[in-house]
Amino acid sequence: MKYTGRIVITVVVVVLIGIMRIYGNLYYNYPLESIPFLGIIAMLVCWWLGGQYDKVKFYAEKDILTEIYNRRFVIEMFPKIMAQMDKRNGNLILFLMDVDHFKMINDTYGHEMGDRVLQYMAKVFMSSTTKNEIVARWAGDEFLIISPFSDGTSGVIIERIQDALKALSGQLNMDVSVSIGTATYPHDAETLDALLNIADRQMYVTKARRKSLV
């Protein structure tokens, strides 16, 4: 959680307190060296209020369980990202990922373990991407990765995710995997919904192929 609200409001209060003390010293001979008890109280109150703002902003953008970006954030940000792609003639890759056999995990190990798996998945996706990429929980056991200014290849990220999930499967002593579908802007489609539909179809083709092999 960022400290933006707390820092901004506290800085504003400190500046106001400084101005008031200088004004009081110039016009009312108020001693500058005196301890500003009221100012300290005001700063503490403002720090708390700023914390409440930061908390509201955090949960407006982030998923409560996994603490990665949520669906609302993606929908609000995507038009801005596309505008950047158009301005700089860039490509964007959208990854749609679905946890394999998630219902079976819940039924076999319980919903608490299911939640833990989702949290582990979020960490895997974050560790497999860079700061330039957006990782979000889209719905239930579905996740998104948005990779702007991509060179058109998705294999590197997918390979990182698969390697990390193999390691996670060993740690949890259970098979944990995802099916992944991708779509590229603007080559495959030019809207978020269209990109999602393409990635979704590709993802379920991959999932069906894996089931047939099993």
pLDDT at 74: 95
Model confidence at 2, pLDDT cuts 50, 70, 90, reads low
Which residue type sits at 71?
A: R
Alpha-carbon distance of 19 to 17, in angstroms, equals 5
Domain boundaries, the chain: 4-60, 71-213
Q: What is the pLDDT of residues 144-191, one digit of tens each?
A: 999 998 775 678 899 999 999 999 999 999 999 999 999 999 899 999
Could you check whether the bond before residue 31 is cis, i.e. omega within 30 degrees of 0?
Answer: no
pLDDT digits 0-9 by tens, 18-52: 777 676 667 767 666 666 666 677 777 766 666 65
**pLDDT of residue 105 exceeding 80:** yes
Instruction: Please list the alpha-helical segments (H only) found in 29-110.
Output: 37-61, 71-87, 102-109
Query: What percentage of residues in the chain have a pLDDT greater than 90?
Result: 55
* Whole-number average pLDDT of the chain: 84
- Give strand pairing partners of 143: 97, 137
* Integer Cα distance of 17 and 152 in angstroms: 54
Are 46 and 54 in contact, with CB atoms under 8 Å apart? no
Residue listed under structure tokens 């990109």: 195
Share of the chain above pLDDT 70, in %: 77
Measured CA to CA, the distance from residue 205 to residue 52 in angstroms comes to: 45
Topology of domain 71-213 in CATH is Alpha-Beta Plaits (3.30.70)
Is the C-alpha dihedral spanning 26, 30, 33, 38 positive or negative? negative
Residue 93 has pLDDT above 80, yes or no: yes
- Residue 197 parent element (H or E): helix 192-213
pLDDT digits (tens, 9 = 90+) for 115-136: 999 999 999 999 999 888 999 9
| Statement: residue 10 has pLDDT above 90 | no
Question: What is the Cα–Cα distance from 154 to 57, expressed in whole angstroms?
Answer: 32
Cα distance between residue 120 and residue 99, in whole Å: 11
pLDDT band at residue 206 under the 50/70/90 scheme: confident
